[in-house]
Structure 1
């Protein structure tokens, strides 16, 4: 009996030593560099950082315009309105091609046939149904004008041939990569300058770059056009192209050297 108890005690001691060995070795492995051993259950602190955002802006003259034009025609029947619209739009497209607009720069942007109703007054309190009085057909085309010197002429000739509604003009650039690169460089430089000011104010030194990301660009809305009447067109529509601004925002994270 005594020999059995001694054997069990020896076995238990061996198992305890086996489990304690790895934990003891892990504890000894935690060295802070000065010969002092750290506790295994001590949580590591989060690295101090500086997070800033930078903004960059670069401008350039536009070299292309995108114009939204529409033909709106009414008729007593859908067929009548559609035929009138088709005739006017065919003349507009032919004139645009004759003005040098390539087929790749002409794209239908919308088409609809809408019934038109008259709502009789119900002075007597009765519920009178609306009366169908005709149909309206709207056919829209998006036009890219790559020669801005012809933009006024293009709009004028289109209105003269039947365009009676326009949605907007967007002045843009065919290849804005170079000016966007300038805006990106300016945004990063702005972020670095802000980070240095913050570090100096906090009495610390700026460390390595940890993270750098760019926020998605937000396009500027096109210039709106009001509904145009055929008879309101001048000899040539005056156009002011101005300049395009490209804005870039970046988020930067730097480590802090304490």
Structure 2
């Protein structure tokens, strides 16, 4: 005897759906995510500065703006001419600030302040390509009439190239730490997923205002600069 079973529409649809589910591959979000490890590390290299950036200029005061400007211009011309005579190239001298401001006085009777003169300031940024000449140059600037020295910054001209060794050290340090942490967790470090470098700027070293007095070839020590590279690296874990 042969038995025949008839399936209704609902049963046929359920069976077809089940077959479709088994035939469809897993979606990306259904897969197990890769195990990753991310480590940040720093590398260092020491270099001697081979250039100096210096900001210097003249501030002059007078009862009128015209007189203050005239006095400032005369002294500033002497300063610039003296820099060139000292071997500073014209392209290494650039005006960084120029200002004309009123000078106020406060009456004793409590009346509002009144203008009693003007102050003119003119400053240039100087690139000194021989740090050993800095002390003598500062002395000459003051003797020529410069009464403002607002910044002194030692520069490593090939900093970007020299930092390559620091970058290599930073990556090696990150790898060493990643392997240490992975081993402690019972895993191995696999291929690199991403590498990112942090970029920063240390800024200039400050220097106080020069006084209008002979500095006797001020002893300036350039020392050394520590160049730093910091990276963040992500690896897969095996």
TM-score normalised by the chain length of structure 2: 0.88
- Tell me if 1:226 matches 2:208: yes
Contact 2:142 2:215 in 1 (8 A): no
- Tell me if 1:87 matches 2:74: yes
Counterpart-to-counterpart distance in 2, 1:41 and 1:105? 59
- Tell me if 1:139 matches 2:122: yes
CA shift, 1:203, in A, is: 1.1
Distance 1:205 1:95, change over 3 A: same
CA shift, 1:24, in A, is: 4.3
- Tell me if 1:238 matches 2:219: yes
Counterpart-to-counterpart distance in 1, 2:126 and 2:237? 53
Unaligned residue ranges in structure 1 (runs of 5+): 1-8, 31-37
Deviation above 6 Å: which 4+ runs of structure 1?
A: none
Report which of the two structures shows the higher radius of gyration computed on alpha carbons. 1
Distance 1:74 1:44, change over 3 A: same
106, 131, 141: which is aligned to 1:148? 131
Contact 2:55 2:152 in 1 (8 A): yes
Aligned residues: 230
2:35 aligns to what?
48
Counterpart-to-counterpart distance in 1, 2:194 and 2:84? 50
What are the equivalent positions in structure 2 for 1:192-203 lying under 5 Å apart?
192-203=175-186
1:103 aligns to what?
90
- Tell me if 1:69 matches 2:69: no
1:5 aligns to what?
none
Which deviations, in whole Å up to 9, do the C-alpha atoms of 1:136-181 show, x marking residues without a partner? Answer: 0110100000011211111110111111111111101222233111
Which deviations, in whole Å up to 9, do the C-alpha atoms of 1:216-252 show, x marking residues without a partner? Answer: 1x22232222122222x23211110101111111010
